[in-house]
Amino acid sequence: MTTSTITAAPAGTFSVDPSHSRVEFAVKHLGIATVKGTFGSFEGTLELGADLSQARASGRVDAASIDTQEDKRDAHLRSADFFDVERFPALSFESTGIRPLDDDRFEITGDLTIRGVTREVHLVAELLGAETDPWGNERVGLEVSGQLNRGEFGLTWNQVLGSGNMLVSDKVKLALEISAVRQG
């Protein structure tokens, strides 16, 4: 494995700050419109070393905290048709490798678990930099994107429309805006 230095971020362990971060997803609805949603309750950890071979990322999302700005849809997404939050209350991610794409962007490979099903996913992270906030906390910022096929995780509920389009697309786009604070 080739090592690459992370120059824009200091080494250390950082915890995601939920009040300054966002976990968002987007899916096609009716084949013609995009519906976005967020998860309001989540946590994560970044372990940054002197090079990428030492970097790790992990996170956990409370499935019941889903919010698409429509109460009936959110209740359906929490049901056994989708996330089945009674049986599977959390989504989780654990990185297995990180490699550079260019000076500021990295591919993060890891295991994502939804509904008790674990699949490998590939995400692209852009390191936005590091800064000390007015209270003396050292922070790093990242934007992370990727996509997955929801059917691979057992999220298979759907309806075929008269046009042949599906009510909900299988492809789900992911977008995370992360601000993380150094621990210790």
pLDDT tens digit sequence for 92-150 = 999 999 999 988 899 999 999 999 999 999 999 999 999 999 999 999 999 999 999 99
pTM for this predicted structure: 0.89
Kindly tell me the burial class for residue 41, based on how many C-beta atoms sit within 10 Å of its own C-beta (0-12, 13-18, 19 or more).
middle
Closest CA to 46 of 140, 120, 123, 131: 140
| Tokens standing for residue 125 | 């992270």
What percentage of the chain reaches a pLDDT higher than 90? 74
- In this structure, the number of other CB atoms found within 10 A of the CB of residue 28 comes to 18
Domains and CATH numbers, the chain: 12-182 (2.40.128.110)
pLDDT tens by residue, 147-172: 999 999 988 887 777 887 777 889 99
What's 62's DSSP letter?
A: E
Nearest to 122 by CA among 136, 107, 112: 107
Predicted pLDDT of residue 22: 97
DSSP 51: B
Residue 22 burial (C-beta neighbours within 10 Å; 0-12, 13-18, 19+):
middle
Least confident interval from 2-6, 39-43, 116-120, 171-175: 2-6
- For residues 148 and 155, the answer to whether their CB atoms sit within 8 Å is no
